[in-house]
Amino acid sequence: MDLLNTLVDKGLRRELPTREEALAVLATSDDELLDVVAAAGKVRRQWFGRRVKLNYLVNLKSGLCPEDCSYCSQRLGSKAGILKYTWLKPEEASRAAAAGVAGGAKRVCLVASGRGPTDRDVDRVTRTIETIKEENEGIEVCACLGLLSDGQADRLRTAGADAYNHNLNTSEETYGAITTTHTYADRVETVQQAQAAGLSACSGLIAGMGESDKDLVDVVFALRDLDPDSVPVNFLIPFEGTPLAKEWNLTPQRCLRILAMVRFVCPDVEVRLAGGREVHLRSMQPLALHLVNSIFLGDYLTSEGQAGQADLDMIADAGFEVEGAGTTTLPRHRADALADGCGTSAEPAGCGSHGGGGGCGPCGGHGEQEPVAVADADADVPAGRTEANGAPRTDLVAVRRRGAGTDLAPNA
């Protein structure tokens, strides 16, 4: 296909595709899917070889969030039967992190529900970061605490944080249909605060909320403009008890096309396969490794993932290798720019140009609003449609009952 040849050439040069080209990737047929994966795989291998970075989530504070994000099981009005607990002590968080590190994780992502941290919360997290760093030499730490206030990013950086995650989640045009208690602009500002403090920015999206192809392209192009180093791609986990519980809009094929589009738009960025991969990609997860260079190991914030050993076996069986602690994830041009404290790119290539900025996961909220469908006439899959086989795979949505906040061993 001329389209794919053009996109490969652009990806190898770190050149931005057009929006029409990105939309065309999402519009390809299932007959063309392997060609799409192979083309995006060439771009992935150019910048990251066959390495897969492992990341491990630690949910520092679960549930009881005052925000009304419709997708989130931690929203205060959520009826989902998730774990609810207040802040883990630094030593508890460090023990949880150690399980992931022992399983091969190179980055630990510390996540807390809520609108944003108080200064006292930042004190707690800085002590946790320091404890984890003392006990795990060379480990990367990413914080995901919500909207930041002035000076908080600097304090996290001083404590040893390497990165900060705050996802844009969906397009600016449809953001208000998903969340009303904060704005899209609030999220952009927090990512920029993290970058200004010298933290590596991690910001991504959630697919499967009923959005159109145009929405997906808009949010990925907005991310490219922000230029994060890591772009996590989450696939909505439709928890019962949340407003989007009936939004089963994804097939494995559509998930792969979305990942390929993200890789073409952000060729040299750490693209991370995040929450929902087991639910929506299922047996086609190994194909996604040709598109992404980073995954989460084991469980997520409030849901269980496949066994950690199964993740490692999948990587090996697909012919990839776990990225070692002594390897720099980002290509040299991005890593050098990040080390120099560069916050903006001098080149016009957006997310394909520098390291200015693991997402970790969506934050939560409250409220009893009705389910929101944000699809329009451009949507490839209409809002509310179930899986191609006619039945949503609700059996694959498992609430986390182990690891942080419990007495049971974590999955890593």
Residue 202 marked as a ligand binder: yes
Q: With beta carbons less than 8 A apart as the criterion, state whether 52 and 315 touch.
A: yes
Q: Is 208 left (phi over 0), alpha (psi -120 to 50) or beta?
A: left
Residue 255 marked as a ligand binder: no
Active site residues: 65, 69, 72, 109, 142, 202, 272
**What torsion do the CA atoms of 111, 170, 304, 279 make, to the nearest 10 degrees?**
-170
Domain count, the chain: 1
Q: Is residue 123 part of a domain?
A: yes
The pLDDT of 261-272, averaged and rounded, is 98
pLDDT of residue 374: 41
Q: What's the token pair of residue 294?
A: 């980073």
Better-scored residue on pLDDT, 354 or 288: 288
d(CA 205, CA 355): 19
The pLDDT of 76-97, averaged and rounded, is 86
Q: Is residue 31 part of a domain?
A: yes
Q: Is residue 232 part of a domain?
A: yes
Residue 336's identity, in one-letter code, is D
**What torsion do the CA atoms of 62, 63, 66, 71 make, to the nearest 10 degrees?**
110
φ/ψ of 275, rounded to 5, equals -60, 145
Residue 272 marked as a ligand binder: yes
pLDDT at 76 over 50: yes
Better-scored residue on pLDDT, 58 or 83: 58
**pLDDT confidence of 4, banded at 50, 70, 90?**
very high
Residue 65 marked as a ligand binder: yes
Q: With beta carbons less than 8 A apart as the criterion, state whether 40 and 271 touch.
A: no
The pLDDT of 11-39, averaged and rounded, is 98
Task: Tell the residue number behind the tokens 């208000």, with chain if given.
Answer: 176
| 170-209 tens-digit pLDDT | 999 999 998 999 999 999 999 999 999 999 999 999 999 9
Q: Is residue 406 part of a domain?
A: no
Q: With beta carbons less than 8 A apart as the criterion, state whether 284 and 262 touch.
A: no
Residue 69 marked as a ligand binder: yes
What CATH number does residue 295 fall under? 3.20.20.70
Measured from the Cβ of residue 5, the count of other Cβ atoms closer than 10 Å reads 10
d(CA 239, CA 302): 10
d(CA 366, CA 380): 30
Q: Is residue 304 part of a domain?
A: yes
Q: Write out the residue range of the structural domain in which residue 322 sits.
A: 16-396
pLDDT of residue 389: 54
Q: Is residue 2 part of a domain?
A: no
Q: With beta carbons less than 8 A apart as the criterion, state whether 330 and 244 touch.
A: no
pLDDT at 9 over 70: yes
Which residues share a beta bridge with 356?
Answer: none
Q: Could you tell me the pTM of the whole model?
A: 0.89
| 279-301 tens-digit pLDDT | 999 999 999 999 999 999 998 88
| 223-247 tens-digit pLDDT | 999 999 999 999 999 988 888 889 9
Q: Is residue 266 part of a domain?
A: yes
pLDDT at 353 over 60: no
Determine the Cα angle at 112 with ends 80 and 181, to 5°.
70
Q: Is residue 9 part of a domain?
A: no
pLDDT at 153 over 80: yes
